[in-house]
Structures are given as C-alpha cells and as structure tokens.
Amino acid sequence: MNPKLRIAAITDEYSHDLEKALEPMAEVGMQGAELRVVWGKNIMDLSDEELKRAKQMVTDKGMEVISIASPVLKCVLPNAPDVDARFQHDIFASKHTFEDQPRLSEHAFDVAEMMGAKIVRVFSYWRTVEPEKCFSAVVDALGGLAERAAKRGLIIGLENEHACNIATGAESAKALAAVKHESLKLVWDPANALCSGENPFPDGYRKLPVDRIVHVHTKDCHMEGHKPVWGPLGTRSVDWKGQVAALLADGYQGWLSLETHWPGPANDKFRASVICGWNLRGLASA
C-alpha cells in the first residue's frame, strides 16, 4: 500500500554517512530528508561546499530537504531555576550557549535557504526544575524567531522536547497560544511527550491546535521510571495507529519523519532504522 502521509527521516538516525543513509530511505519510499548530523558534523558546522554536496545527494535520490534540525535554543537560559538533572541532554555534535543564539539562528536561516528547506526546528532552553518560570523568556525568544523567519519565508518549528521547557502537548498548546505568529508552528513528537509523563495520544494531541502542527517526529519507547527505553516504532507505548488515524482525519498535510532512537538488534542502529523505516511506511499506509 502507498503511504497516505509523506514519510521522511532524520538522516543520521541511519548513518552520519549521508550516502549510506539515503539508500534505505529511498528503498522504503521516503521523499524527505531532515539534516542534523552529516559526515560527523552538525548541520550548522558544514561548509557551503559540504552543504551543496549534501543537497545534491538528496536531490539525486529523488528527495527534498524538508527541515534543518538545528540546535537553536537548546542551551541553558541564564538566571533561570536549576536545570532538571533527570533528563539526558542530546547535543548531536553541537554545543552552543545562550550568547550564541542570535548568530546560530541567523546561520540556521541561511542554511535552510541554501538547502531549500522551509522548516527550521528549534527548542525551548534546557528544562529547569521550575519550567513555568521560564515561560515568558521562551515566548519572547520564539516570537522573535518567528518574526525574523517570516521575513525570509521560513517556518520556526518548535519541537516539544522532554529535556526542554516545552515538553508536552499541554505545554506546547500554551506556548502556541502565547505566540500567535503564523510563522511559529509545532514539530509534534508524541514520544517526547510520553517521556515527560503525558499520554501523548489522545490526551496531549487533543490539546493542540492541529492547524499549527507543521511536522511530526516518529519514534517509540516505554518508560522505566524517568528513563525511556526505546524500541521498534509502533511496538511500544505510543498509540501510533491512533495518532496517524487522527492526523489523517484532522487534515494534516505534513510529514511523518523517523527519529529512530532505538539502538537496534545487537546495537546495530542502522539496522534499527531500516526496521523502523518499514514500520513507518506501514503506519502511514494503514
């Protein structure tokens, strides 16, 4: 069966070697690629020549670059409560400070334009023990990013990330209500909401303004205390069948993008992504 929603992947979930990653993505029928780490470098650190080469490789496989998976606002917010030590901070070959954010975001816009991608993924600062006290700073930052992105025809995609201050569907809905700018939308990640203690579907999803979901990340896990245990997509605690059916019923027009996370059989992450890629195709075709 053909997917009813377009499918994609974050390429480094397969491999940092872009050529190696794109092959199984094309085989499963993916038409989109998210770039985060390529050839061992964060996308923000690639040279112009490397970016051009990466785009050409994606194009040659009949795909398009759909999102720049940037690390914007994945940093400590100054003068905020202590960072919540329960959560692992995934930095994906990139470590930037609060002071770096204006330069980093401007470069992310430049990279998105060069790659022909419309979405620049951002976060909401590392989660603190009192995330509500960071809300106004997060809103200010997101509003400013949306204003700047709009001038360049780009979309800011806020990802709900369990290690950041906006982690759940409920928190995402509150942030979107506070920043009504049309260039701020949500990268909805149900598994991240699960890691934050929320039942992502239907509870978290039903709190969201569906017309502001621009992109969906797909991965799966169950929780052991505060620790997520990742597994094959569609086999753990996220109701992916229900979530995909709801997205279709609600008129979602964006992508389902694989972010495997599962280490895989015998710690073979490439094999894990191949398995999850086919699982994603099945879910998108149901």
Taking only the tens place, the pLDDT of each residue in 253-264 is 999 999 999 999
**Whether 202 contacts 174, CB under 8 Å:** no
Over its length of 286 residues, how does the chain's per-residue pLDDT go in tens digits? 799 999 999 999 999 999 999 999 999 999 999 999 999 999 999 999 999 999 999 999 999 999 999 999 999 999 999 999 888 888 776 679 999 999 999 999 999 999 999 999 999 999 999 999 999 999 999 999 999 999 999 999 999 999 999 999 999 999 999 999 999 999 999 999 999 999 999 999 999 999 999 999 999 999 999 899 999 999 999 999 999 999 999 999 999 999 999 999 999 999 999 999 999 999 999 8
Q: For the chain, how far is it from start to end, CA to CA, in angstroms?
A: 8
Structural domains of the chain in order of their starting residue, each with its CATH number: 6-285 (3.20.20.150)
Q: Is the pTM of this model over 0.75?
A: yes
Euclidean distance between CA atoms 65 and 50, whole angstroms = 14
Residue 218 β-bridge partners: 258
Report helix, strand and coil shares of the chain as percent, to nearest 5. 45, 20, 35
At CB < 8 A and 24+ separation, what contacts does 137-144 make?
A: 137/77, 137/80, 138/73, 138/77, 138/165, 138/166, 138/175, 139/175, 139/178, 139/179, 141/73, 141/101, 142/175, 142/179, 142/184, 143/179, 143/181, 143/184
pLDDT reported for residue 93: 64
